[in-house]
Structure 1
Amino acid sequence: MLSVLKYCFGLKRADKGGERNMKRIILGIPLLVAVLVFFPVRSFAAMPRSATLATHAVGGLYNALGTGIGTVISRYTPTTVRVQPFAGPPAWLPSMDKGETDMGILTSADAITSYKGIIIYKRPHTGTRILISGGRIYLGFYVRSDSDIKSVSELKGRRVPTDFPGIPIARLSSTATLASSGLSYNDIVKVPVSDLAAGGSAFLEGRLDAGWDAVGSPRVIEANSRFRGGVRFLPTDSGPEATKRMGDIYPGSYTALVAGGSATGVVKDTYLMTNDIYLVATKFMSDDVAYEIVKILWERNEDLGPLHPGLKEWTRDRMANPSVFIPYHPGAVKFLKEKGVWSKEMDALQARLLAD
Structure 2
Amino acid sequence: MSHAVSRRALALALPALLVTGHASAQDAAANYPNRPVRVIVGMPPGGATDIMARVIGEKLGAQLGQSFVVDNRPGAGGIIGTDAVAKAAPDGYTISLILSGAVIANQFVYSKLPYNPDKDFTYVSQVMEGVVVLTADAKAPYKDAKEFAAYAKANPGKVSYGSYSTGSYGHVVMAYMNKQQGADMTHVAYKGEAPMIQGMLGGEAQLAFGSVMNMGPHVASGKFKYLGVSGPKRMAALPNVPTLAEQGLTDAPYRMSGWAGFIAPAATPKPIIDKLAAAIHTAMADPAIQKRIRDMGFEPTLDSSPAKNMERYKHDVPIWKNLIELADAKIQ
Q: What is the TM-score when the length of structure 2 is the normalising length?
A: 0.65
Preserved CA contact (<8 Å) 1:204 1:223: no
Of the candidates 90, 107, 123, which is equivalent to residue 130 of structure 1? Answer: 123
Q: Cα offset for 1:204?
A: 2.0
Of the candidates 91, 103, 107, which is equivalent to residue 99 of structure 2? Answer: 107
Match of 1:160 in 2: 160
Q: Does 1:221 align with 2:207?
A: no
- Determine the C-alpha separation between the residues in 2 that align with 1:144 and 1:223: 9
Match of 2:35 in 1: 49
Letter in 2 for 1:119: V
- Per-residue deviation, residues 144-195 of structure 1 (Å, max 9, x unmatched): 4664422251351343235x6x83224x7424334247547x6245374544
**Pair 276,315 (structure 1): closer, same or farther in 2 beyond 3 Å:** closer
- Determine the C-alpha separation between the residues in 1 that align with 2:124 and 2:165: 24
Quote the sequence identity (%): 9
Letter in 1 for 2:131: Y
Match of 1:77 in 2: 64
**Pair 48,288 (structure 1): closer, same or farther in 2 beyond 3 Å:** farther
Letter in 2 for 1:267: N
**Pair 113,159 (structure 1): closer, same or farther in 2 beyond 3 Å:** closer
Q: Cα offset for 1:81?
A: 0.7
- Determine the C-alpha separation between the residues in 2 that align with 1:175 and 1:295: 33
Preserved CA contact (<8 Å) 1:73 1:81: yes
- Per-residue deviation, residues 221-254 of structure 1 (Å, max 9, x unmatched): 23223316x5213356xxxxxxxxxxxxxxxxxx
Q: Secondary structure at the match of 1:316?
A: coil
Match of 2:237 in 1: 263
Preserved CA contact (<8 Å) 2:228 2:243: yes
Q: Show structure 1 runs of 5+ residues with no match.
A: 1-42, 237-254, 328-356
**Pair 317,119 (structure 1): closer, same or farther in 2 beyond 3 Å:** same
Q: Secondary structure at the match of 1:285?
A: coil
Match of 1:313 in 2: 299
Q: Does 1:190 align with 2:183?
A: no
Preserved CA contact (<8 Å) 1:111 1:326: no
Q: Cα offset for 1:77?
A: 0.8
**Misfit runs of 4+, over 6 Å:** none
Letter in 2 for 1:58: P
Pairs aligned (count): 255
Q: Secondary structure at the match of 2:312?
A: coil
CA RMSD of aligned residues (A): 3.3
Preserved CA contact (<8 Å) 1:53 1:66: yes
- Determine the C-alpha separation between the residues in 2 that align with 1:269 and 1:133: 26
Match of 1:177 in 2: 174
Letter in 2 for 1:325: Y
- Determine the C-alpha separation between the residues in 2 that align with 1:268 and 1:311: 12
- Per-residue deviation, residues 61-111 of structure 1 (Å, max 9, x unmatched): 111111111111111112211111122420122222222472112233322
**Pair 292,121 (structure 1): closer, same or farther in 2 beyond 3 Å:** farther
Preserved CA contact (<8 Å) 2:165 2:171: no
Q: Show structure 2 runs of 5+ residues with no match.
A: 1-28, 245-253, 316-332
Preserved CA contact (<8 Å) 2:234 2:242: yes
- Determine the C-alpha separation between the residues in 1 that align with 2:173 and 2:84: 28
Q: Which has the higher contact order (CA 8 A, sep 6+)?
A: 2
| Greater Cα shift, 50-59 or 97-106 | 97-106
**Pair 235,61 (structure 1): closer, same or farther in 2 beyond 3 Å:** closer
Preserved CA contact (<8 Å) 1:70 1:82: yes
Larger radius of gyration: 1
Q: Does 1:304 align with 2:289?
A: yes
